[in-house]
């Protein structure tokens, strides 16, 4: 049967797998890539690349699931699209929204933050990989979404210790290309 003839999944049905299945897969992904790199940053890059290819393909699926037939108009406003990511996408993938923040001094800089990241919640980083930020996969996913929606940006994932909790918060830093801001200014109402 041709892929386009297959029935689309019921949009309302909650398509879920166990977090454990994802964690086990993710863990094996990390193990596999660890043997191919010499630095932790290289490993984070590889995880981000995986996340990127997920993000690029995810956009179409999510837009379909979220708006259905109303998805004909492509989102072009930066802040609205970031809200879409931090709220709609995050709720769909991880069950709850993240926080969107904007830099005070840099117009092109935004942050998506969350207290903990679901995909690496149960990943235990071995001692010889201390400092590895597995959430890099999610940062890559955000970059993929942004690229697919034509909001090119530099995206990096950071781990920030805070007093209020034991484990560090995840901060995904987004810095839009100048072209995005220029376009926004040109077409803003």
Task: Quote the Cα angle for 80-84-85, to 5°.
Answer: 120
State the residues that interact with other proteins by CB under 8 A.
Answer: 1, 3, 9, 15-22, 24-29, 31-32, 35-36, 46, 49-51, 53-54, 57-58, 61-62, 92-95, 118-119, 137
35 or 70: CB nearest other proteins: 35
Task: Name the DSSP letter for residue 85.
Answer: I
Q: Which candidate, 100, 96, 95, places its Cα nearest to that of 142?
A: 100
Q: How many residues does the chain have?
A: 189
> How deeply is 48 buried, as exposed, middle or buried, from its count of CB atoms within 10 A (0-12, 13-18, 19+)?
buried
45 or 183: CB nearest other proteins: 45
Q: CB 17 → other proteins: shortest distance, Å?
A: 5
Task: Name the DSSP letter for residue 120.
Answer: G
Q: CB 54 → other proteins: shortest distance, Å?
A: 4
DSSP H or E stretch at residue 140: helix 136-148
123 or 180: CB nearest other proteins: 123
48 or 176: CB nearest other proteins: 48
Q: CB 109 → other proteins: shortest distance, Å?
A: 26
């Amino acid at each position: 049967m041709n892929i386009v003839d297959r029935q689309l999944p019921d949009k309302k049905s909650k398509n879920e797998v166990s977090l454990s299945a994802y964690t086990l897969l993710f863990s094996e992904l990390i193990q596999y890539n660890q043997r191919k790199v010499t630095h932790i940053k290289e490993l984070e890059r590889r995880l981000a690349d995986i996340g990127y290819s997920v993000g690029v393909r995810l956009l179409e699926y999510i837009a379909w699931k979220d708006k259905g037939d109303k998805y004909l108009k492509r989102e072009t406003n930066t802040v609205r699209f970031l809200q879409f990511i931090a709220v709609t996408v995050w709720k769909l993938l991880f069950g709850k929204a993240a926080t969107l923040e904007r830099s005070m001094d840099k117009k092109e800089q935004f942050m998506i933050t969350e207290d903990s990241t679901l995909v690496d919640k149960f990943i235990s980083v071995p001692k010889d990989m201390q400092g590895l930020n597995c959430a890099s996969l999610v940062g890559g996913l955000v970059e993929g979404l942004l690229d697919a929606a034509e909001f090119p940006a530099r995206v990096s994932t950071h781990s920030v210790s805070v007093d209020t909790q034991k484990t560090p918060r995840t901060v995904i830093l987004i810095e839009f290309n100048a072209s995005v801001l220029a376009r926004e200014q040109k077409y803003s109402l």
